[in-house]
Amino acid sequence: MGALLEITKEFRFDAAHFLPGMPEGHPYRRMHGHSFRVAVTLSGAPDPATGWIADFSEIETALLRLRDELDHATLNDLPGLANPTLELIAGWIAARLAPALPSLKRVGLHRDSVGETCTLTLSP
Structural domain boundaries, residue 30: 5-121
Task: Tell me the HSE value of 45 on the side-chain side, using a 13 A CA sphere.
Answer: 6
Closest by CA position to 96, among listed 63, 49, 71, 60: 63
pLDDT of residue 123: 86
pLDDT of residue 20: 96
- At 71-102, the pLDDT tens digits run 999 999 999 999 999 999 999 999 999 999 99
Please count the structural domains in the chain. Answer: 1
Distance CA(47)–CA(68), nearest Å, equals 30
- pTM for this predicted structure: 0.94
CA 89 to chain centre: 7
Residue 104, helix vs strand vs coil: strand
CATH number at residue 32: 3.30.479.10
- Give pLDDT < 70 ranges for the chain: 1-3
Please provide residue 57's backbone torsions phi and psi, each rounded to the nearest 5 degrees: -70, -35
